[in-house]
Structure 1
Amino acid sequence: MSNRKEGDSFVYTVKEQTELLPFLREVMSNRSRNSVKSILTRGQVTVDDHIETKHNYALYPGQTITILKNKAAIKESALTGMSILYEDDDIIVINKEAGLLSIATEKEKKQTAHHQLMDYVRREDAQNRIFVVHRLDKDTSGVMMFAKKEQVKQMLQEDWKETVSERTYAALVEGEMEKKKGYVSSWIKESKTHLMYSSPMKNDGQHAITHYKVIQSNKDFSLLEIKLETGRKNQIRVHMQDLGNPVVGDKKYGSKQNTIRRLGLHATVLAFRHPTTGELLRFEADVPKSFLVKSR
């Protein structure tokens, strides 16, 4: 395995098939097993472009493993699994990695974007807070915005459709698309098992519209640019399943394979009018390299 330092991280290239914990034990042979396990649990390890915490996660030759140094993870400025793209007195915009929760769940309270940003703003003033404006699924990466004041959150949520001028995603889906460009319109509902689905009946659920365009494709995969007209829960994932081209790695919504070993969904662009200044802001996060489709 090769090894290089990059600022606050150590970067390794996997040379042979193994599992994540044994690999880390080998490259960090000066540390105890518990110390290595805690580095994993704290979300300091990234495989290619997603955080990975599973001890038995299978590694293959050519993958890149990045380990955030302890000092950097403990250091006040360190944010695990995300980076800040923009910040002012009212809002904070981040680029979230796949594998990081947006907000707390019953099982996980602290290893979330919301909790980390709350800690981050409270270093300046203990009274500071962070408010959730919208969410990205845990396994979706990309641009996400939070508010720093409750009234700003309310302004953004109440006028979300008028405030946001562009929400663009990159989606890696299975198979070749029938059309190079198109849209899906349906009424989305939630089942008793919390699975979202398109109702066959008009006006039965929340109306959802998804526009898509093929950027790259071969017979196995298509990389799509997706623009949302509405922002329903799991909307892209449901609509891609409806088209017969489920998002790669999305077992919940019909995917049969996961070559990139993460969900093939990334929020590339968020453009909106600033809630207090009225200025039009546009933020972009590059499409993950693992999404790029090789033409044949």
Structure 2
Amino acid sequence: MNRTFTYLITQKDSPCTVESYLKKRGYSHPILVQLKKTQNGILVNQKWAYVKTILNPDDKLEIHLEETASSEHIVPVELPFSIVYEDEDILVVNKPADMPIHPSINNYENTLANAVAYYYKKQGETFIFRCINRLDRDTTGLLIIAKHALSASILSKQMKAREIRRTYLAVCKGQLPAEVGIINAPIARKADSAIERCVDFSNGESAVTHYRVRYYQNGYSLVELHLETGRTHQIRIHMQYLGNPLPGDYLYCPDYSKISRTALHSYRLAFCHPITGKRMDFYAPLPTDMAAFFQ
């Protein structure tokens, strides 16, 4: 996967080095190291340049990002997944249920990484899998995949700065205490478990979830949730803490009478495009297994 960027240096930008100019635009240290090793990776006025080259007004800076190999240990496998949006820099997908994101023990050829690797192999392109946000295996919905190192670097910084807005829909048991609310309850690992989490006001890390009830019928609520923090199992733990757990959750509410997986869906992602800066806003409709609670 190769990408070329062209910058026209202005009076405001200069004088500066290529390195300082690129760092302001999100180029990480590993990317700069790779550019040093790439023939014609950095061109100034069509001449090969160095990261310490001084840039002056009206200079034309060209950057060539090259990736000649695909991700190791990811086997391309033809698996169904839905593409919501794609351009030269990002891929936004709607992940189905029962699909892990990354390969692991016992999940070597059934992951989103396998599916995306196959998608690009079919096009004859190399591809390194860089998934920006995370979803549990059972959770459906929107994920951002960076198509090269620069978009990955910029989007990762946005995630760390909580500039990527993630909104979820969950089916919860019962009626919530209010139509709109904020859950501020710290989360910690459960003492006798390597996997489970719990609300722990003494030892937990800060966790804040905003919620709004969108629908209530037949003993179930459809709840819209926005995460202010991103703790492991945060939505599942916070809704259990309220007394409104998610059905189908094998850890916290193993009730499979109406659904075979955790009733949670990442339905909206809003963020700034890593290269153009344009505001992006994507939606994925409620899956049929969750919608069935309210038919």
Whether TM-score is above 0.5 comes out as yes
- Amino acid aligned to 2:228: E
| Structure 2 residue aligned with 1:180 | 179
| Structure 1 residue aligned with 2:146 | 147
SS at match of 1:182: strand
- Counterparts of 2:86 and 2:129 in 1: how far apart (Å)? 12
Count of paired positions: 217
| Structure 2 residue aligned with 1:5 | none
Is the aligned partner of 1:109 residue 2:108?
Answer: yes
| Structure 2 residue aligned with 1:254 | 253
Is the aligned partner of 1:271 residue 2:270?
Answer: yes
| Structure 1 residue aligned with 2:287 | 288
TM-score computed with the length of structure 1 as normaliser: 0.67
Is the aligned partner of 1:130 residue 2:129?
Answer: yes
Question: How big is the shift at 1:219?
Answer: 5.2
Tell me, yes or no, if the aligned pair for 2:166 and 2:227 is still in contact at 8 Å.
Answer: yes
- Counterparts of 1:233 and 1:247 in 2: how far apart (Å)? 15
Q: Mapping of 1:1-296 within 5 angstroms? A: 80-162=79-161, 164-191=163-190, 192-201=193-202, 204-218=203-217, 220-292=219-291, 293-294=293-294
Question: How big is the shift at 1:119?
Answer: 2.3
% same residue: 33
Q: Which runs of 5+ in 2 are unaligned?
A: 1-76
Q: Label 1:198 to 1:181 Cα distance change in 2 as closer, same or farther (>3 A).
A: same
SS at match of 1:254: coil
RMSD of aligned residue pairs (Cα, Å): 2.2
Tell me, yes or no, if the aligned pair for 1:172 and 1:223 is still in contact at 8 Å.
Answer: yes
Q: Which has the larger radius of gyration?
A: 2
Question: How big is the shift at 1:163?
Answer: 6.5
- Counterparts of 2:151 and 2:169 in 1: how far apart (Å)? 28
Tell me, yes or no, if the aligned pair for 1:174 and 1:255 is still in contact at 8 Å.
Answer: no
Q: Which runs of 5+ in 1 are unaligned?
A: 1-77
Q: Deviations over 1:103-128 (max 9, x none)?
A: 11211111111121122223334532
- Counterparts of 2:270 and 2:171 in 1: how far apart (Å)? 22
TM-score computed with the length of structure 2 as normaliser: 0.68
- Amino acid aligned to 1:237: R
- Amino acid aligned to 1:134: N
